[in-house]
Structure 1
Amino acid sequence: MAALVGDGLCLRPLLMADAPALARAALESVSTVGVWLPWCDASFTEADAEHWVRTCEEDRADGSAYSVGIFDAAGGEYLGGIGINHINREHDFANLGFWVRQSRQGERIAPRAARLMAAYGFGKLGLTRLEIVAAEQNTRSRKVAEKAGARFEGILHNRLVIRGVAVPAAMYALLPESGIT
């Protein structure tokens, strides 16, 4: 996967050299990202980040997921992560997930990254639907979905399990006809 550049961002595959920045970003984001993504906790280490980089490489190689880093296009700062995963080739849809480090939240990074990644999913991967599934109470991710142009489709009961507890989730969908290609 080549780098995707646009709207001030660069989405590119993570390199092992990015592991320290990923670990720092995760640790600074425990109180915001960690509420919704249990992997983001105070015990996250550089070794965990290195493992994630290897997992992303393997997933891209076998076509099962396309998780990349979000970087500032001008300065190269690591801003967070985004990925297309849970790909269903029978029906050509997948999940679109994202997170932004706490110090850079509120700068519209996630919606910009979501639009870039959606264009890749529709154009290069041939998908016909990308789903953004956010816990019902995760208002920040829900706002990102809306700002990215996704359509709200409803609340799904017990759709996500967060730290062992089933919670309702809001389902949003991006479609190629949304103008994101």
Structure 2
Amino acid sequence: MTSAFRPVIRRFVDTDAPSFLAAVQASPEALARWMPWWKADYALADAQAWIDHTCKVWQEGKDRLFGIFDAGTGAVIGGTGINRIDPAHRTGNIGYWVSTPCTKRGVARFAAREMARFGFSELGLTRLEIVALPGNAASIRVAEAVGAQRECLARNRVWLGGQAHDALVFSLVPEDAARW
């Protein structure tokens, strides 16, 4: 990351919807390929519904979903979070996406590390997974860059585009984060 560009992670607020929409609209090829929620006619109402959803799951004690923002402009540049939280087994899944104009700046790597720190220290989790489709080279590079251990190719692990896909499963444990 350059000194002129600094990402920050925080919870979404209602006024972030137009900026979230702009980030989504700037990334159609990347999002269409990897994100099940993307659609060609993604609109402001969809962005607002997503922000409402992030607030609802926080209140319910479920997923912890955040926006990634440019600290200088306040613009949404992506999203991250921990989902599939299982309190009984102290596990969860780290997810991230970065708007195309902001890729290749270390933003996803920053987000993955921040989510791991948050998951281990704030949520008391003992294992976090990063799940990536084999063709998603950028996500695989992020998992490797943060020191996640590649564990397996899990059959039918991800549902995308109306069908099941095999996916690579990487894991992080608190000892991995301690090395950062």
Q: TM-score, normalised by structure 1?
A: 0.92
Q: Which amino acid letter does the alignment assign opposite residue 103 of structure 2?
A: Q
Classify the secondary structure of the residue corresponding to 2:36: coil
Classify the secondary structure of the residue corresponding to 2:39: coil
Task: Find 1:67's aligned residue among 50, 62, 65.
Answer: 65
* Matched length: 175
Classify the secondary structure of the residue corresponding to 2:113: helix
- Give the % identical residues: 38
Structure 2 residue 162 is the aligned partner of structure 1 residue 164: yes
Gaps of 5+ in 1: 1-6
Residue 134 of structure 1 corresponds to 132
How far apart in 2 are the matches of 1:29 and 1:89? 34
Residue 129 of structure 1 and its aligned partner are, at CA, apart by 0.6
In the TM superposition, what are the counterparts of 1:22-37 in structure 2 within 5 Å? 22-37=20-35
| 1:29-65 CA distance string (max 9 Å, x none) | 1101220102222211110010111110111111101
How far apart in 2 are the matches of 1:60 and 1:170? 28
Classify the secondary structure of the residue corresponding to 2:128: strand
How far apart in 1 are the matches of 2:146 and 2:69? 18
Residue 9 of structure 1 corresponds to 7
Is the 1:26–1:41 contact (alpha carbons within 8 Å) kept by the matching residues of 2?
no
Q: TM-score, normalised by structure 2?
A: 0.92
Is the 1:14–1:68 contact (alpha carbons within 8 Å) kept by the matching residues of 2?
yes
Structure 2 residue 28 is the aligned partner of structure 1 residue 39: no
Residue 101 of structure 2 corresponds to 103
Residue 147 of structure 1 and its aligned partner are, at CA, apart by 1.2
Residue 115 of structure 2 corresponds to 117
Classify the secondary structure of the residue corresponding to 1:69: strand
How far apart in 1 are the matches of 2:175 and 2:13? 33
Residue 174 of structure 2 corresponds to 176
Is the 1:33–1:102 contact (alpha carbons within 8 Å) kept by the matching residues of 2?
no
Classify the secondary structure of the residue corresponding to 1:179: helix
How far apart in 1 are the matches of 2:77 and 2:146? 17
Residue 91 of structure 1 corresponds to 89
Q: Which amino acid letter does the alignment assign opposite residue 165 of structure 1?
A: Q
